[in-house]
Amino acid sequence: MHTVVHTGASTPGGGQAPASRSRVAVAGATGYTGQELLRILGRHPSVSITAAMSSGSASGAARPLPALARLWDGQVTPLSADTLAHAEVVFLALPDAAAAELGPSLIDAGVRVIDLSGAFRLRDAAVRSRWYPETHRVPEGVAYGLTERAREAVAAARLVANPGCYPTATLLALAPLVSAGILAPGADIIVDAKSGVSGAGKTPSERTHFSECHGNLSAYGVFNHRHGAEIEQGVGAAAGPAAPGMNVTFTPHLVPLDRGLMATIYMRLKPGTTEQALAEVFEQAYAGAIFVRLVGSSLPEIKHVAHTNFCDIGWRVDPSGRAILVSVIDNLLKGASGQAVQNMNVMLGIDERTGLL
């Protein structure tokens, strides 16, 4: 049952509850992230789903999603840009090329967009052309939607580029320390990350075949994964333009889980930096951040965050100045659809917990 929203009522986070539900639409509703969006939005007290569409425009009969019965009983229809333009906020859970084409046209039509593809995440044109060559136009008003570190930009954005799953877990743990300037100068940063199979999307491949994944652990995209560029961009932004460049080595791994992601991050700190110093940096960075849970030396586990929008961060420091951070998220929620709804809440000026807790 939906919560009744009264005109002028204030939400727990201080934002005003809307007098009427905001109209939202989802393109790419049959994929993993698209279905998670419908699962959340179907119970969200401040929005109404006006359309849920597949990722293609080929003709076909509308169909329900049995897994969402009684949560959302609508029909998934073929992709139609004209229909999407009637919404106030559109979520694009589409392949990169489709999002790159559709996003700017929706912005031109006055629609606000939250894009879960990578099409608009990279700011540097040369870097973007390498990893996302389909993106020929980046509209004005794009914000990189790592919510806890970009609320003001997200609130004002016309298009939010929702971060990738690996960058979300990595940058939430790493960026505050980089901004605080406590890493040793010139030290390498190593990101050893592991994700469940759903992170590869719904389209099957040999790598995601059951007999290839079950009982197996494999590295992939070594020195050749687009999330590496996204992580480097985030580290550079956290360091600031005057800071020397930092080398980030990122290696993703596929693990036989349906969902969940762990990033283990290795670095060296300035002499004398203690675990308590890290705790103080994190506590200041995430004061009031409901979806970031700091666990210190306890170290988090994937099961602690599965099916939630939380990011749990733990850390340890040895006497020589070596530090290890462990950051865990649900790759489909905090790493995709949950963070997208969190960004929508910020864009609409309502409590960012709405629909997620």
Q: Which of 149-153, 196-200, 281-285 has the lowest mean pLDDT?
A: 196-200
The pLDDT > 90 percentage for the chain reads: 82
Do 274 and 201 lie in one domain? The reply is yes
Catalytic residue of the set 116, 165, 171, 237? 165
Q: What is the pTM of this model?
A: 0.91
Same domain assignment for residues 144 and 281: no
Q: Is position 165 annotated as part of the catalytic site?
A: yes
Q: Is the per-residue pLDDT at 18 higher than 80?
A: no
The arithmetic mean of pLDDT across residues 261-280, rounded, is 97
Is residue 92 in some structural domain? yes
What band does 6 get if pLDDT is binned at 50, 70 and 90? very low
- DSSP for 277-312? HHHHHHHHHTTT-TTEEEEETT---GGGTTTSS-EE
153 with 231, same domain: the answer is no
Q: For residue 338, what are the contacts with CB-CB under 8 A and spacing of at least 6?
A: 36, 40, 308, 309, 330, 332, 356
Residue 101 lies in a domain: yes
Within a domain: 183: yes
> Looking at the structure, do residues 117 and 193 belong to the same domain, yes or no?
no
To the nearest whole percent, how much of the chain has pLDDT over 70? 93
pLDDT band at 8 (very low <50, low <70, confident <90, very high): very low
Q: Classify residue 200: in a domain, yes or no.
A: yes
* CB contact burial 310-334 (16+ within 10 A = b; e otherwise): bbbbbbebeeebebbbbbbbbbbbb
In a domain, 17, yes or no: no
pLDDT bin (cut points 50, 70, 90) of residue 88 is very high
Say whether both 302 and 179 belong to one domain. yes
- Please tell me whether residues 191 and 327 are part of one structural domain: yes
pLDDT at 20: 87
Whether 205 and 56 share a structural domain? no
pLDDT interval class at 242 (50, 70, 90): low
User: Is residue 176 domain-shared with residue 152, that is, in the same domain?
Assistant: no
pLDDT tens digit sequence for 131-141: 999 999 999 99
Structural domain total, the chain:
2
3-state SS class at 51: strand
Residues 89, 170 share a domain: no
The mean pLDDT value of the chain amounts to: 91
Range 50-78 average pLDDT: 87
Residue 204 included in any domain:
yes
Residues 115 and 143 in one domain: yes
**CATH number of the domain within which 307 lies:** 3.30.360.10
Q: Which residues contact 268 (CB under 8 A, 6 or more apart)?
A: 183, 184, 187, 188, 321, 322, 323
207 lies in the same domain as 229: yes
11 has a pLDDT exceeding 60: no
Same domain? For 84 and 224 the reply is: no
pLDDT digits (tens, 9 = 90+) for 243-252: 777 889 999 9
- Give the integer Cα–Cα distance in Å for 225 and 218: 14
Q: Is residue 219 predicted with pLDDT exceeding 90?
A: yes
Residue span of the structural domain in which 207 resides: 166-332
Q: For residue 136, with 0-12 CB atoms within 10 Å meaning exposed, 13-18 middle and 19 or more buried, which class applies?
A: exposed
CA distances from 181 to 18, 20, 211 (A): 41, 45, 45
Q: Tell me, what's the pLDDT at 7?
A: 31
In the structure, what pLDDT confidence band is assigned to residue 265 with cuts at 50, 70 and 90? very high
pLDDT computed for residue 56 by the predictor: 79
| Mean pLDDT (whole number) for 197-206 | 79
CATH number at residue 29: 3.40.50.720
Residue 6 is assigned to a structural domain of this protein = no
Residue 266 pLDDT > 70: yes
For residue 1, being part of any structural domain is answered with: no
**Chain segment 31-62, per-residue pLDDT in tens:** 999 999 999 999 999 999 999 999 876 656 78
